[in-house]
């Protein structure tokens, strides 16, 4: 990788590095998935401080050009996964629609007595049996989301660990023959912390999208409450809107 850095120009060095790397990506001299030199190598190659290099790399990571993978290095981003917020789709369907193979790493599968706050969401008394499923969702083997799902046990006879390793929506619709109706979803920005970093290969404090979805069956019975964490550098959500004059 060759960057043209000119210390005599009145343009900050970090900005020159940033623009230089962007240009290499746009000219496809650096391709998606390519490893870029480490911060130390860049400092040595151009005789600049670590802070300057870090600023440039941080900006490129935040803008989605580069992706940091803990313990492996910094890579040219493969582009953000785009998800349209329209129908109530499942992770498996979304990935297949993009020609990618959905996968699941099951972290835990438990039948618990629901807490007050969870049971309230299902309109059932506190202590009702609820499935708690923690899953890492993969696309072609790459971790795309960390999901914690709650589903009422009485609604899902035959829901097992093996089912949770595949598509829950497929099981609900094709095995239990229940009709999934609508969902209420809240998206907010957050920062990766604790176990999320390890699971998604993110540095502590990396930007993430936090999504909470509550899905209902067609007859209005609550089916699931799901909290998902999506790495900010791998995902973008697109909403098509229609102007309505009130």
Question: Which spans of this chain sit near ligand 16G (rule: CB under 6 A)?
Answer: 90-92, 147, 149, 167-170, 211, 213, 215, 224, 226, 228
- Is the Cβ of residue 19 or residue 165 nearer to ligand 16G in the bound state? 165
How near is the Cβ of 163 to ligand 16G at its closest, in Å? 9
Length of the chain: 246
Least CB distance to ligand 16G at residue 129 (A):
19
What beta strand segments (E) does the chain contain? 35-36, 66-69, 73-76, 81-84, 102-113, 129-139, 142-152, 180-191, 207-217, 222-231, 235-238
Distance in Å, CB of 170 to ligand 16G, minimum: 6
Taking the C-alpha atoms of residue 56 and residue 62, their distance in angstroms, rounded to an integer, is 10
Of 212, 83, 218, which Cα lies nearest the Cα of 150? Answer: 212
Rounded Cα distance, 122 and 155, in Å: 11
Q: Least distance from C-beta 236 to ligand 16G, angstroms? A: 13
Q: Which is nearer to ligand 16G, 224 or 233 (CB)?
A: 224
Nearer to ligand 16G, 213 or 236 (CB): 213
For ligand 16G, give the closer residue by CB, 74 or 90.
Answer: 90
């Amino acid at each position: 990788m060759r960057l043209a850095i000119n210390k005599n120009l009145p343009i900050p060095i970090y900005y020159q590095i940033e623009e230089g790397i962007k240009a290499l990506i746009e000219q496809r001299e650096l391709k998606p998935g390519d490893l870029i030199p480490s911060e130390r190598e860049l400092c040595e190659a151009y005789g600049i401080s670590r802070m300057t290099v870090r600023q440039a790399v941080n900006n490129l990571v935040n803008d989605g050009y580069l992706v940091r993978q803990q313990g492996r290095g910094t890579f040219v981003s493969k582009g953000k996964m785009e998800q349209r917020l329209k129908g109530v789709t499942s992770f498996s369907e979304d990935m297949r629609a993009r020609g990618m193979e959905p996968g699941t790493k099951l972290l835990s599968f438990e039948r618990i007595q629901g807490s007050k706050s969870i049971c309230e969401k299902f309109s059932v008394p506190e202590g009702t049996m609820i499935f708690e499923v923690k899953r890492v969702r993969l696309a072609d083997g790459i971790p795309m989301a960390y999901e914690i799902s709650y589903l009422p046990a009485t609604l899902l006879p035959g829901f097992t660990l093996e089912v949770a390793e595949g598509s829950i929506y497929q099981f609900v619709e094709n095995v239990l023959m229940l009709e999934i109706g609508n969902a209420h979803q809240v998206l907010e920005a957050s920062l990766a912390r604790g176990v999320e970093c390890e699971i998604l290969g993110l540095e502590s404090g990396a930007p993430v999208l936090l999504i909470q979805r509550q899905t209902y069956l067609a007859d209005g019975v609550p089916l699931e409450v799901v909290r998902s964490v999506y790495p900010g550098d791998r995902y973008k959500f697109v909403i098509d809107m229609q102007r309505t004059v009130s």
